[in-house]
Structure 1
Amino acid sequence: MTTTGTPYHSGERTAQARAGVTDRADHAGRSIRSTVPAVAARFLTERRMLVVGAADPDGRIWATQLSGPAGFLQAADERTMTVAARPAGADPLAEALARPAQIGTIALDPAGRRRMRLNGRSAPDGRGGLTVHAEEVVSNCPKYIQRRTPLDRPGAGSPRTVSEGPALSTAQRLAVNTSDTFFIATAGPDGRVDASHRGGFPGFLQAVAPDTVRWPEYRGNAMFMTLGNLELDPRAGLLLPDWETGGALLITGEARTDWSEEARQAAPGAERMVELTVTGVRELADATPLTWTDPEYSPANPH
């Protein structure tokens, strides 16, 4: 539910006001659409991966990834995206996306440092894929995207669970602390879900305890779609792709934003900090048949 006269809901408006960027947000909000423009339709057909966020049957929010050859994503019309893939049985969102669901998605082009979000209502298409009715379409800036090129991995198997539990293992904490990219799914009013991207130099995301993950929020587009959702609903899910092996680390929990001056000083470039209390972890092998080249770090990453 949006606030009258803007494309934003009350949580987003609260976060924008706290950050003092209401005017910037109003300007950025003009780019939020409910349809897929032609340039975005072409962008989708070239992508190899799609990040998807949704709630599982227990109400926990997760973010996961789907992949396929170029063309597995299509804009069937200006209000419909088709996805020729669906989460495998090992994925925590497999059951949720086997039926109609609110989802948030982000299509990423690491090689070209481009991304777009499409949020809406998905349903199984009867052919092992999804049909997504677009409710919100947003093109984002290239900041904090590490440049990578996808490579096919012919020997990839089916996605399978390596481990799962309520907290991070020592090895998983190391994976978190050396990550340069993660994706976050959050939920807003009426259960609508958003998926977003975060990037920085390795170490910007930190597992400070087995049940606690923390990261800085850098200057962005002023929309505050993620933090605005967290103002109203603390549920969140993180996806950390393993770019070298095709695996993935999925984390779910509850997050809070620290808006204090101390938080701004906690990390280079931080405008605020977010801390997530971990309640569930799922590590997948062969989450995708893709690997990626070594990163060329974004020039926007704070040192």
Structure 2
Amino acid sequence: MEKIFHPGEQAIHTLLGVSEEAHQLEGMIKDRVAPAAMRMLPAFGFVLATSIDNSGNVWTSFLTGSDGFLSVVSDKVISLSTISDKKFLSNVQDNNEVGLLFINFEARVRLRINGTVVIENDRLVLTVRQSYFNCPKYIQARKFELAPQDHVGIEPGETSLNDSHIKIIQAADTFFISTYVAGQGADCSHRGGSPGFVEVVDHQTIQWLDYPGNNLYNTIGNLHTNPNCGLLFMDFTNNRMLQLTGTARFVVKDQDTRFVVFTLKWINDISNATPFHWKLLSYSQFNLASDARH
């Protein structure tokens, strides 16, 4: 496998003084899917996915399908059934780098996979570049069940947050972030905290604390190299999603106060977003104070 950490990640490791810790953990990142992951993946009915459009904007999508949605061809290849997300499909035809995040909210398990894709016989076939399990921190336990899904509605192309968007973001306990470095791959990651952990600064700017994690800093390292990123906020109660693309920067005030500032380019407001009903079971014991102001 190619070198584990690219220069952007290495720069962040040096900045934060965690180079040795990151080096000790790099063995967890493999160029194939681990046997435990191969056994669990076919049970997933959805996945979060990163794609890049022809202007270089980065997007996060929620992909789902019927039984057999996902199959494991080998430890190097996984296959997804026909994808209905037209934006995602359009993007991967221009740039075949994709990041996937498989997350089991109830079990607080998450697996990140990135690689390249091709479309074969109406299936999306991904060749794995990197695969690894993430720690369970900040995942809110939720269960879901299938429910009839009405027509998915999308209000695209807004360039600022309206009052409804702001309400969803301020109440969020979960969102997903996608980043990308050309030649190094796409990445999709989870962020969680108590409601209020994301602060709306104005109608085009939001920010959140960078909570302690596993010291790999894949997302922050990617942003150091390429500030383009995509966010996906899930309103689980109303089955609604906000899909944002824009740019982000990492700000270090001191050793204990670090945060990410996101500036919006476009937002898609998606109603009837998933074929599921969601129920919150409990918040993560790792959640920090809900006040994200700095």
TM-score (norm 2): 0.93
Q: How does 1:103-118 map to 2 (within 5 A)?
A: 103-118=98-113
Matched residue, 2:171: 178
* Cα distance between partner residues in 1 of 2:38 and 2:97: 21
* Cα distance between partner residues in 2 of 1:85 and 1:296: 33
One-letter identity of the residue aligned with 1:49: F
* Cα distance between partner residues in 2 of 1:289 and 1:185: 23
Identify the match of residue 141 of structure 1 among 135, 145, 151.
135
One-letter identity of the residue aligned with 2:137: K
Matched residue, 2:259: 273
Identify the match of residue 73 of structure 2 among 67, 76, 83.
76
Alignment partner of 2:283: what SS?
coil
Distance 1:233 1:278, change over 3 A: same
TM-score (norm 1): 0.90
Kindly report the root-mean-square deviation, in angstroms, between the aligned alpha carbons of the 2 structures: 1.8
Identify the match of residue 160 of structure 2 among 159, 162, 167.
167
Q: Please give the per-residue CA displacement for 1:40-62, whole angstroms capped at 9, x wherever unaligned.
A: 01121121220001111222101
Contact 1:239 1:248 survives alignment (8 Å): yes
Q: How does 1:32-51 map to 2 (within 5 A)?
A: 32-51=29-48
Matched residue, 2:218: 225
Contact 2:145 2:278 survives alignment (8 Å): yes
Q: How does 1:208-287 map to 2 (within 5 A)?
A: 208-261=201-254, 264=256, 271-287=257-273
Q: Please give the per-residue CA displacement for 1:6-59, whole angstroms capped at 9, x wherever unaligned.
A: 510000011111111111101111100010121101121121220001111222
C-alpha displacement of 1:193: 0.8
Could you tell which deviates more after superposition, 141-150 or 65-74? Answer: 65-74
C-alpha displacement of 1:213: 1.0
One-letter identity of the residue aligned with 1:27: Q
Higher strand share: 2
Alignment partner of 1:77: what SS?
coil
Percentage of pairs with the same residue:
28
Q: Please give the per-residue CA displacement for 1:113-149, whole angstroms capped at 9, x wherever unaligned.
A: 000000000122322x311110010110100000001
Q: Please give the per-residue CA displacement for 1:133-191, whole angstroms capped at 9, x wherever unaligned.
A: 1001011010000000111112x124321353111111101101110000000012426
Q: Does residue 1:101 correspond to 2:87, yes or no?
A: no
Paired positions, count: 289
Structure 2 spans left out of the alignment, 5+ residues: 290-294
One-letter identity of the residue aligned with 1:192: G
One-letter identity of the residue aligned with 1:221: N
Alignment partner of 2:166: what SS?
helix
Distance 1:25 1:123, change over 3 A: same
C-alpha displacement of 1:69: 4.5
* Cα distance between partner residues in 2 of 1:189 and 1:243: 33
Structure 1 spans left out of the alignment, 5+ residues: 265-270
Contact 1:53 1:63 survives alignment (8 Å): yes
One-letter identity of the residue aligned with 1:62: W
Matched residue, 1:62: 59
* Cα distance between partner residues in 2 of 1:123 and 1:159: 26
